Chain A
Amino acid sequence: MGTPATAPRKNTVRLGDRVFSGLSKGSGIALLVIMAAIAVFLTIRAAIAIAHNEGNFLTTFQWDANASPPVFGIAVLLFGTVVSSVIAMTLAVPVAIGIALFISHYAPRRLAGIIGYVVDLLAAVPSIIYGLWGALFLVPHMTGLFDWLDRFFGWTGIFAYDGTPARSLMTVGILLAIMILPIITSVTREVFKQTPKAHEEAALALGATRWEVIRMTVLPFGRSGIISASMLGLGRALGETMAVATVLSPSFLINASLLESGGGTFAQNIASQFKEAGSMGRDALIASGLVLFVLTLLVNGAARLIIARRKEYSGSL
């Protein structure tokens, strides 16, 4: 709006502005540099480890990284990480959707507010405390359930149980499910709350029951939100360290039964082996950490892309 005549100082770029904008831009770039540095440093150390590895990094069922020559492979870790996270997702997602619906559509308004608040607080409980509780409370209380599963589904092999302490991938999966419940719930709840009232009223006016309203409007509207919330939860489950390290009784074998101890996850293996690891051992652990990093990067990136796409879509409405 200003004509050139009224802006005599236009050309004098203020020093303060230049410094401040430079600083803030610099911080942003620093963040990108850190991300890049994480990838680079992990890759360098991983490359050293893999170059010396006498086993096959992907298929070896063994972790003797301190031996000479070192022999190690991530097969067991990959299996354990994926299986425990899949168990966690299978259990947590339906329950989280249920709680989110409870808060957004079923609970009385005051109660809903309180529960929403509590869910947010629970998301802040440190994972080591889940781990302590898991190891000292959950594990002894799982044997009843495992006996029952063994009695009726033991013939499948997956649910065979030998009565030893329940420090298995299944217990880990259940604990992870409890841990990721709050985050999935709070994201889905936000999405459900954004369902346009107009659509819910349209369904009501057609003579839909409460559940039919949810099925016709809330769930389709929130679908991409549910997917991305689940993937955020999955990202957490994949990288969780302490809860797995305390509960699981690890071994470098893949046990056909999910209820019997054994197996391992990337994060748990790093935490458990670190203190005994020599120089090569550490590089090997870093190599496995790199795989975990890429895995979570893919899952989180996908979740973010889904959210971004959804924003565009609802923005155009």
Chain B
Amino acid sequence: MSQTTVTEEPPRPRPSVRPTTLRRPRLPGWSRGALLLGSAAIGTATGLVAGLESRVQWGLIAALVFVVGGFALTSAVEGRRQAVDRLAASLVWTSFLVAVLPLASLLWETIARGIPGVSWYFLTHSMNGVLSWQDGGGIYHALLGTVQQVLLASVIAIPLGLLTAVYLVEYGSGRLARAITFFVDVMTGIPSIVAGLFILSMWIMMMGFGYSGFAGALALSILMMPIVVRSTEEMLKLVPNELREASLALGVPKWRTILKVVLPTAIGGITTGIMLALARIAGETAPIILLVFGNNMINGNPFEGAQSSLPLFVYEQWAFGTESAYDRAWAAALVLIAFVMILNLAARAVARWKAPKSGR
């Protein structure tokens, strides 16, 4: 940059950058609809002429024509910047649609293929004596297993998780708290199969216990704990400090303040977090394969002998590969997805219902 002249020189006129009018040429409103129809026609025509089997390919060709054609047209009429803006908007919309398609298909397939198989009989009978190619059988044993394993896992994970969160928010400071925070985050990312392998190596291979629902629950509790800690921690942080100080100023000891004031204030959010964690572990399969092993019969004792569980049931039925088994797999998948979704929706309802009414 040369130190030339200029102190109060009036700005050089640059007619090239200044728009002479605020209006700019615009494509008429109907052009987009016309383009859409045109691209659909081109997509269909190309598909017919080239003899493409898949309608998806027709659609892709049409979408490509629409995006590229729109860009060219806007570019020619409205200018490059507008064209880039339009292109970005099209891509954002496309990415949304691209993501919706598989997810909608997943839900649709599960519901459509699952509904015929779900019945009262299906929910109340086990697979005892039913061969893989036979119709019939049910998921009672698996439902029972899932419920027991999830409850056992909660009994372990919830107190530990709550207390850890209390420590982090109310007591913790310094290196220990930072280390715990970091490892809770890292723990969230542990693959479920690794948690399963850990319990396998410790509980079954080293300590010599057998396969059981409880072993599965141990692994599930490892997956559940960090979620409980994280969500509880967030909720406790939202409790205003004035509440704690008011209680302490009345001479209430800290532990009673936490139990009687802090936790009740945050209970709605904490419940939500716990229910979301339950929903997450209820769908876990990998540790169950390693630790609970699977069982076609009803085993009501989670501490002794192999059990089943819903996700494991889905996996086993899929693995049989017969039509009857596939039907059972879809039906069980539908029950599982409904179970998880109901937990989720209930959790969010609790969050809304029990949201701390914060005055200003």
Tell me if chains A and B make direct contact, with any CB pair below 8 A: yes
Q: CB within 8 Å of B: which residues of A?
A: 14, 16-17, 19-21, 23-32, 34-35, 37-38, 41-42, 44-45, 94-99, 101-102, 106-107, 115, 117, 121-122, 124-133, 135-138, 144-145, 148, 178, 181, 185, 209-212, 214, 232, 235-236, 238-242, 245-246, 267, 270-271, 274-275, 279, 282, 285-286, 289, 292-293, 296-297, 299-301, 303-304
Q: Which of A28, A131, A245, A289 is in CB contact (< 8 Å) with B164?
A: A28
Q: Which of B88, B258, B276, B285 touches A127 (beta carbons < 8 Å)? A: B285
What number of A-B contacts does a CB cutoff of 8 Å give?
266
Q: Are B177 and A28 in contact (CB under 8 A)?
A: yes
Most buried by A among B56, B85, B198, B256: B198
Q: How far is the CA of A139 from the CA of B349 in the complex (A)?
A: 37
Decide: A292 near B183, CB < 8 A? Known: A133-B106, A144-B54: no
Compute how far the CA of A270 lies from the CA of B168 in the bound complex, rounded to whole angstroms.
Answer: 35
Question: What chain B residues lie within 8 Å of A23 (beta carbons)?
Answer: 163
Residue of A nearest to B105 (CB): A137
Instruction: Tell me, in angstroms, the Cα distance from A238 to B189 when the chains sit together.
Output: 10
What per-residue 1/0 map shows which CB atoms of B51-68 lie under 8 Å from chain A? 001101100000000000
Q: Which chain B residues in 135-166 approach chain A with CB under 8 Å?
A: 159-161, 163-164, 166
Q: Which residues of B contact A21 (CB under 8 A)?
A: 167, 171, 254-255
Scoring B53, B172, B177, B185 by chain A CB atoms within 10 A of each residue's CB, the highest score goes to B185
Q: Which A residues are CB-close (under 8 A) to B189?
A: 232, 235-236, 239, 296-297, 299-300, 303
> Dominant SS at the A interface?
helix
Q: Which residues of B contact A209 (CB under 8 A)?
A: 81-82, 84-85
Is the CB–CB distance between B163 and A24 below 8 Å?
Answer: yes
Residues of A within 8 A of B45 (CB): none
**A contact residues around B254 at 8 Å (CB):** 17, 20-21
Q: Are B98 and A16 in contact (CB under 8 A)?
A: no
The answer to whether A38 and B186 have CB atoms under 8 Å apart is: no
What are 25 A-B interface contacts by the 8 Å CB criterion?
A: A19-B255, A20-B259, A24-B163, A24-B167, A25-B167, A28-B177, A28-B180, A30-B160, A38-B222, A99-B95, A101-B92, A106-B92, A125-B340, A126-B336, A128-B311, A129-B314, A132-B330, A145-B56, A178-B106, A214-B88, A241-B193, A246-B315, A286-B197, A289-B194, A293-B190
Picked from A101, A106, A127, A144, the residue with its CB within 8 Å of the CB of B57 is A144
Contact yes or no, B286 A241, CB < 8 A: yes
Contact B172 A28 (CB under 8 A): yes
Asked if A304 and B193 make an inter-chain contact with CB atoms under 8 angstroms apart, the answer reads no
Asked if B296 is at the interface (CB within 8 A of a chain A CB), the reply is no
What residue of chain B has the Cβ atom nearest to residue A279's Cβ?
B205
Count residues of chain B with CB under 8 A from any CB of chain A.
95
Q: Can you list, as one digit per residue, whether each of B305-319 has a CB less than 8 Å from chain A (1) or not (0)?
A: 000000100110010
A115→B326 CA distance, assembly (Å)? 31
Chain B residues whose C-beta falls within 8 Å of the C-beta of A181 in the assembled complex: 99, 103
Interface residues in B181-195 by Cβ distance below 8 A to A read 182-195
Docked complex Cα distance between A98 and B100 (Å): 12
Distance, CA A205 to CA B205, complexed state (A) = 67
Q: Which residue of A lies closest to B258 (CB)?
A: A20
Residue of B103, B172, B191, B280 near A296 (CB, 8 A) is B191
CA distance A292 to B106 in the complex (A): 28
